[in-house]
Structure 1
Amino acid sequence: MILFIFLFFIGYYSYKHKPNANSFREFILTSKETNSPSTSSPSTSQDLFKFFNKLLVGQPSVPEFKIDDYYCFNVVSFKDGTATYVGFLDKWYLWSKIEVIGSSGRGDRLFGRKKKGSATEMQVIEGLAYSDKEAAIKAKGKKDYHKAAKSFLSAAKQFKKVGDDSNLLEAANSLEALEKAASIYENSDRQSTRAARVYEILAEQYKKTNSTQHNLEKALKMHRKSAELFELDGDGRFLFSLTSQAELSAEIGYYEQAISLFDNIIILSANDSILSFKVKSHVFLQCLCIIALGDWVRLEKRFQQCIEEYPSFADSRECAFINKLIVSKNSCDPSGFATACKEYDQLTTLSSWQTHILLVAKKYLEVEDLR
């Protein structure tokens, strides 16, 4: 009798502490994040749009599975037959696993160090992408734009992982759908801040998608929309969106536009006790844009003005660097110009567009030197 009561108690306890499907998803995602050296750290942003941040840092997805209930425990099997897990007393345990064979003939584990680009892995990712896209379309039909936006962005990320032409096109289509969702938010008085955040996310995604001129133009448009909406709401993120817009304008080659934007950014930053330390960087980038236009007279005038108005710039490495460039230009010294660039780059790495501007300026200086 006592044994029966004991067994009944054990069975009841096991039944009450049987893990469910949600705990299995959490278990798999945690396992993947722990074992994958390439997984990014979670975003620290506390925006209302947290789910977008999770998608942006590459939160993994769980392959399709079925769960069988055996009263005291559950058994989960992936539908592709690659693994089976047993859930007992609030925990999950691996029961069996079939290794996936990649193109090199070596086994790639499903949730260990996966060999990027294996056929099975790409098929799973592509399937998840189409599933997200279908969920987005359904949500859009029900006018659940919050869910639709989330699913479209997830689909775009999955399609880009596959990487072939057709899937990159699907990714682009998903981003366009997300842009439409953002425009719907924009037209709602209560959702304008959310729309601004979505536009910022879109800008970053467009910049990552092959970085073609078309995509950079789209990213610039998204930054512009985001800045306008943040400013309209009096949101402090306006300055960050404006800065992204100015830097991307300079990268694309819209130097006058970037110079004008930096004028506003420098004034706003100088009047902010927390962001005033960024003034030297903004002045430096503005000076580079003026150099790109080849207007050295304008550069000297702006340079002297910033030294007088912004002490933090006057005492900076950026100021010393720009001064060396001006001196080299006035003395027609391409060697001194190159040395100044090299010394600065050793401590603060110049980006590709910044390097391009300085290389072009140096070539013009060399031509003048030959004359």
Structure 2
Amino acid sequence: MSSQGEQLKAKAQKKAASSSGFSFFSSSSTKFEEAHDLYQSAANAFKMDNLHQQAGECFCLAAEMALRNDEKDDAANDFWAASKAYKKSNPELAVAALQKTIQLYKEKGRFRQAADRHKEIAAILQQEGGDLAGSLEAYEAAGDIYMNEDAAASANACYKEAAELAGTLGQYPRAVSLFERVASQSLGSALTRYGVKEHYLKAGLCWLATGDVVSTKRAVDSYCAADPSFATTREAKFLEAIADAFDAGDAEEYTAHVAEYDRLTKLDAWKTALLLTIKRSIAEEPALT
């Protein structure tokens, strides 16, 4: 015996198939609308039965019916519903549905919602799909749209995520650019200024991870010039100390500074991983003869 979802899907398919042409009593647009509603009902029935793949498929079919009637807002909402259903079983299809949602939102000028969906793609790729490079691109795309829409706080939140992913992936110049961008934006507000030292610290660590000590020290100087209070912080002094130890090729001194900083201010997993990468590069430096 077929489920309610299957029965409703069959009715929707039959209704859609009969939608060609025009009769005195009903137009094809009316039948597409009826098919749309039946596909939505089928999708919800499949959701009730925890059949997420089938639910996602029916939401996509509902979106196609909406597009036949040029109802782009409805189609975008259907593709978004499809992505939430697919997310539970197939992250790749969830991302594809969200990309269609974004395209439709942009066509309708709904850019803030498009940015929101880019952020959802980033989270899915990072958490469900393990695609850090794709997640980085999606977070940065979201940030760019938010910034164009004068939503600086939302933009900076995305840029911070993108910056950390860039650092994790070894894309250090890109990470530096993003962290410095967030820091610059944060300096303009009393509400966000407190976080500037953290952004500068992460940017400085990414600079040092490139192995360019001179540029690292110049960067720290530029941070102090942009925000004079940064020079007195533990973060600035830590960057200067580990840059000197790196320059001297002294892994023990470097480790001592890291341990001391961690004792006073607990290092998170991202900084710890980057600091270990930097330490390994000290050990790999050829000895001077």
In the superposition, the TM-score normalised over structure 2's length comes to 0.73
1:350 aligns with 2:268: yes
What does the per-residue CA deviation read over 1:244-297, in whole Å, with 9 as the maximum and x for residues that have no partner? 222222222211122222332221111122111111011111111111110001
Which one-letter code corresponds to 1:195 in the other structure? A
**Could you tell me which residue of structure 1 aligns to residue 28 of structure 2?**
none
> Structure 1 pair 334/313, CA: closer, same or farther in 2 (3 Å)?
same
Q: Which has the higher contact order (CA 8 A, sep 6+)?
A: 2
**Could you tell me which residue of structure 1 aligns to residue 191 of structure 2?**
274
Which one-letter code corresponds to 2:187 in the other structure? A
**Could you tell me which residue of structure 2 aligns to residue 74 of structure 1?**
none
**Off by >6 Å, runs of 4+ in structure 1:** none
**Could you tell me which residue of structure 2 aligns to residue 150 of structure 1?**
80
**Structure 1 segments unaligned to the other structure (5+ residues):** 1-60, 65-123, 160-169
1:252 aligns with 2:169: yes
Q: Distance in 1 between matches of 2:189 and 2:77?
A: 37
Q: Distance in 2 between matches of 1:270 and 1:63?
A: 47
Would the aligned equivalents of 1:193 and 1:230 in 2 still touch at CA under 8 Å? yes
* Structural mapping, 1:88-103, within 5 Å: none
* Structural mapping, 1:203-242, within 5 Å: 203-211=122-130, 215-236=131-152, 237-242=154-159
| Structure 2 residue matching 1:348: 3-state secondary structure | coil
What does the per-residue CA deviation read over 1:140-186, in whole Å, with 9 as the maximum and x for residues that have no partner? 43232243233222223321xxxxxxxxxx33122212111112111
1:179 aligns with 2:109: no
Would the aligned equivalents of 1:136 and 1:152 in 2 still touch at CA under 8 Å? yes
Give, in angstroms, the shift of residue 62 of structure 1. 10
Would the aligned equivalents of 1:333 and 1:365 in 2 still touch at CA under 8 Å? yes
Give, in angstroms, the shift of residue 335 of structure 1. 1.0
Would the aligned equivalents of 1:133 and 1:151 in 2 still touch at CA under 8 Å? no
> Structure 1 pair 314/62, CA: closer, same or farther in 2 (3 Å)?
farther
Would the aligned equivalents of 2:139 and 2:158 in 1 still touch at CA under 8 Å? yes
Identity of aligned residues (%): 20
**Could you tell me which residue of structure 2 aligns to residue 45 of structure 1?**
none
Which one-letter code corresponds to 1:232 in the other structure? N
**Could you tell me which residue of structure 1 aligns to residue 238 of structure 2?**
321
Q: Distance in 2 between matches of 1:251 and 1:141?
A: 42
**Could you tell me which residue of structure 2 aligns to residue 131 of structure 1?**
55
Superposed CA RMSD in Å reads 2.5
What does the per-residue CA deviation read over 1:69-128, in whole Å, with 9 as the maximum and x for residues that have no partner? xxxxxxxxxxxxxxxxxxxxxxxxxxxxxxxxxxxxxxxxxxxxxxxxxxxxxxx64x13
Would the aligned equivalents of 1:196 and 1:230 in 2 still touch at CA under 8 Å? yes
Give, in angstroms, the shift of residue 368 of structure 1. 4.5
Would the aligned equivalents of 1:129 and 1:155 in 2 still touch at CA under 8 Å? yes
| Structure 2 residue matching 1:273: 3-state secondary structure | coil
Greater share of helix = 2
Q: Distance in 1 between matches of 2:259 and 2:249?
A: 18
Length, aligned pairs only: 236
| Structure 1 residue matching 2:211: 3-state secondary structure | coil
Greater share of strand = 1
Q: Distance in 1 between matches of 2:66 and 2:210?
A: 51
Give, in angstroms, the shift of residue 218 of structure 1. 1.7
In the superposition, the TM-score normalised over structure 1's length comes to 0.58
Would the aligned equivalents of 1:152 and 1:174 in 2 still touch at CA under 8 Å? yes
Would the aligned equivalents of 2:83 and 2:93 in 1 still touch at CA under 8 Å? no
What does the per-residue CA deviation read over 1:171-224, in whole Å, with 9 as the maximum and x for residues that have no partner? 3122212111112111222x111111111111111110242xxx2222122122
Give, in angstroms, the shift of residue 351 of structure 1. 2.3
Which structure has the greater CA radius of gyration?
Answer: 1
| Structure 1 residue matching 2:95: 3-state secondary structure | helix
Give, in angstroms, the shift of residue 361 of structure 1. 2.4
Give, in angstroms, the shift of residue 238 of structure 1. 2.1
* Structural mapping, 1:291-330, within 5 Å: 291-330=208-247
| Structure 1 residue matching 2:278: 3-state secondary structure | helix
